Amino acid sequence: MSTVFTVLAASVTTFAATNLDDFFLLTVFFARRVATRRIVAGQYLGFAAIVLVSLAGVWAAGAAAHQGWIRLLGIFPLAIGSQPHWERAEQRLKAKLGDAGWNNMRQAVSRMTEAAIQA
């Protein structure tokens, strides 16, 4: 029973966190006295569109890629979000090490990566 509760709590928390902006938009729409029928219809249509696009993406990915690779698709949002942080870190390292030190470090990391792949 503990596992079920844990999964349920995580699901509810994730849903609330990802829909926080939606709650604010709904508050604004209701505060502006937009017709309730239009707000509800927009919510249903928008949610249905998101579900349909997601299902189409899953279907296309399942048809085009091996199942093991589909799990790696979660890395893309992380990579996109962390790119500015990596660029700032790279600029700081370049400033500290200088061009020659930066090139030496890149070559060393490249050699270690190649050796690890070959091992």
pLDDT digits (tens, 9 = 90+) for 27-72: 888 888 889 899 889 889 988 998 899 889 878 877 777 777 777 7
pLDDT tens digits, residue range 109-119?
Answer: 899 989 888 87
Query: What is the average pLDDT value for the chain, to the nearest integer?
Result: 85
Rounded Cα distance, 34 and 82, in Å: 39
Amino acid at 28: V
State the burial class of residue 26 (Cβ atoms within 10 Å of its Cβ: 0-12, 13-18, 19+): middle
For residue 116, give both structure tokens.
């690890």
Q: Where are the domains of the chain?
A: 67-119
Please provide the DSSP assignment of 103-115 as one string: HHHHHHHHHHHHH
Rounded Cα distance, 57 and 80, in Å: 19
Helices and strands of the chain, counted as H and E runs: 5, 0
Question: What pLDDT does residue 67 have?
Answer: 72
Torsional class of 66: left (φ above 0), alpha (ψ -120 to 50), beta (otherwise): beta
Rounded Cα distance, 54 and 60, in Å: 10
Amino acid at 88: R
pLDDT tens digits, residue range 65-106?
Answer: 777 777 777 788 888 888 888 889 889 988 998 988 888 888
> What average pLDDT does the segment 11-39 reach?
85
